Chain A
């Protein structure tokens, strides 16, 4: 099992450009999420999905779109990149563990710089 994979690992964009960050998981997990991590801020939830065809906004959704056409894939689209979107992006998948607990598995991250 590859777990959660993310591509690319690094990306530099110019302001106004668009791009898609790819995320795939091979664990048949129902739930998938996108987070961004900035220094001193922990991880902040951008968008999440509770199953194929179902997505919802997290804490910081502006400037990002997602779709979930299959259980395995959950791409994150930056519509018009801005310097404020410079960050490290993590994709995670999870399943319902014991009772109300959810075990999250993270990908290795994509480091994005917008100039």
Chain B
């Protein structure tokens, strides 16, 4: 059973457009992480959010943690082909850092 639901599953946009990826759960998480994974490689950590309502920015990427710590979003402004990849969210249950992963959103940005 997948505790974290990501939407959409697939997103194809043109360079310069904006996009938002969502990560939703009925569970409360002590922290939530976003990763990007490229073909043939392991996921790479982008950001960790720990406080309800927290907003973090990483260049053109904006991450938000919901007030109730059950959901999160990733917004990319003016997407570039280098943003292409599988975006994964992962929630920690508060123990040592045992994570539940969402199924991922495949983002394709075409020039």
Q: What are 12 A-B residue pairs whose CB atoms fall within 8 Å in the complex?
A: A4-B42, A31-B97, A42-B103, A43-B90, A98-B50, A100-B30, A100-B50, A100-B94, A101-B33, A101-B97, A104-B99, A106-B43
Question: A1-23 interface mask toward B, CB cutoff 8 Å, 1 = contact, 0 = none?
Answer: 00010000000000000000000
Given A42-B101, A45-B98, A101 and B31 touching (CB < 8 A)? yes
Given A43-B101, A98-B50, A104 and B45 touching (CB < 8 A)? yes
B104 touches which of A42, A97, A101, A106 (Cβ 8 Å):
A42
Report the count of interface residues on B (CB-CB < 8 A): 26
B88 and A101: CB pair below 8 A? no
Q: Inside 8 A of B30's CB, which chain A residues have their CB? A: 100
CA distance A81 to B52 in the complex (A): 43
Binding site secondary structure of chain B: loop
> Which B residues lie at the A interface, using CB under 8 A?
2, 4, 9, 30-31, 33, 40-45, 48, 50, 88, 90, 92, 94, 96-99, 101-104
B2 and A42: CB pair below 8 A? yes
Report the count of interface residues on A (CB-CB < 8 A): 29
Q: Inside 8 A of B97's CB, which chain A residues have their CB? A: 31, 94, 96, 100-102, 104
B48 and A41: CB pair below 8 A? no
Q: Inside 8 A of B103's CB, which chain A residues have their CB? A: 40-42
A109 within 8 A of B: yes
A104 and B33: CB pair below 8 A? yes
CA distance A106 to B33 in the complex (A): 14
